[in-house]
Structure 1
């Protein structure tokens, strides 16, 4: 039986320098480890300068056969990629961005890097900043279109061994509850669910409504609120590899007094880039949870 992908994806691709050069770098692991999914999907990659140089050096263009080169970052390549996120022309716009971020690389906090993530959230496009997140996203996009599952990733989809963090800014809490109710069955498969303050309390109320008072009262383990240090508490669990997936619904339109705490949690995920991942917007999370449910059942 043959399958045809409904729409050829366009994916922005950039990696910080420390994720490019070595033979076992995150860029190399991503493309070689995702060969099956990439071969099936046949996406077009829009690649920023030096990242493409590294792909050539490592002989990776046989995997990524459809490539558009953007300038080096110092020449505006990352700025151009931000423009492609917001472009209304489907022939030019990217559908997702893979930006393999080294948390200690200063370029990851340059204005264009911050804007790239923010515009992905605003325009409801996946922003994948870790090796684990990018590999899972490619795997899910391929398998939902009919590709065989990659057995190398099976262990990470055994959700009864996994932990997930569920976090939402104030303006996004209702959307988090709607997502959790819609996808309750897959979230209920996880061995551990964690949340910051108010979000955790609201999710436990939802669980009690669905599962009953006794079964739902501790469905989520709540930590402190974000401004009081809850993000830092969750970051420790990420660094200890007890939380692989973080669903953090951000409101990109408001200034946040606890911005450093938010960055701390994302930085923790990027520190264990081969393990943890963050999803930041509602439509992408809805799609991800749908596909995650199907992939975990294979």
Structure 2
């Protein structure tokens, strides 16, 4: 019998979108509990504070290398979906990191949600695969 591998999702949210990410996690906590989660530092801390039962590893903050850590996990085939709530109205000093992550999800053909509506659709679809 083949061993079932738990899928991993990555969570990132720009500062102005962290509340939306926390609300998303609270709404979908039962579904997210079926996955291993990785997140950039502040986003991960906020999600864990709201949903301590989740299996979540918080990496470095995005600007301090967390985006690249998640990018490396994508390139190694260890991330199966990226939920990156982007703030389109605020300039980001680490915009090149955002572009690099977008490129990686395209290269490795993994789903990426940039807002809660798309994240809802993806998470519901992924529950059928997990």
- What is the TM-score normalised by the length of structure 1? 0.40
How far off is 1:289 after superposition?
2.1
Equivalence for 1:264: 100
2:6 aligned residue (147, 156, 161): 161
SS of residue paired to 1:242: coil
Instruction: Map residues 52-201 of structure 1 onto 2, 5 A cutoff.
Output: 161-190=6-35, 192-201=36-45
CA distance in 2, matches of 1:280, 1:187: 17
How far off is 1:296 after superposition?
3.9
1:204 aligned residue (45, 48, 64): 48
Tell me if structure 2 keeps the 8 A contact 1:194–1:223.
Answer: yes
Equivalence for 2:76: 240
CA distance in 1, matches of 2:6, 2:86: 27
Tell me if structure 2 keeps the 8 A contact 1:183–1:290.
Answer: no
Residue 126 of structure 2 corresponds to residue 292 of structure 1: yes
SS of residue paired to 2:100: helix
Tell me if structure 1 keeps the 8 A contact 2:41–2:60.
Answer: yes
- What is the TM-score normalised by the length of structure 2? 0.88
How far off is 1:264 after superposition?
1.3
C-alpha distance after superposition, 1:40-84 (max 9, x if no partner): xxxxxxxxxxxxxxxxxxxxxxxxxxxxxxxxxxxxxxxxxxxxx
Equivalence for 2:61: 225
How far off is 1:169 after superposition?
0.6
How far off is 1:161 after superposition?
2.1
Residue 128 of structure 2 corresponds to residue 283 of structure 1: no
How far off is 1:207 after superposition?
2.2
How far off is 1:166 after superposition?
0.6
SS of residue paired to 1:161: coil
How far off is 1:181 after superposition?
0.7
C-alpha distance after superposition, 1:189-248 (max 9, x if no partner): 01x21000100111111222xx3xxxx5xx210111111111001100000000010000
Tell me if structure 2 keeps the 8 A contact 1:196–1:223.
Answer: yes
How many equivalent pairs are there?
Answer: 127
CA distance in 2, matches of 1:267, 1:171: 23
C-alpha distance after superposition, 1:164-207 (max 9, x if no partner): 101101111111111111111111101x2100010011111122
CA distance in 1, matches of 2:96, 2:42: 19
Structure label with greater radius of gyration: 1
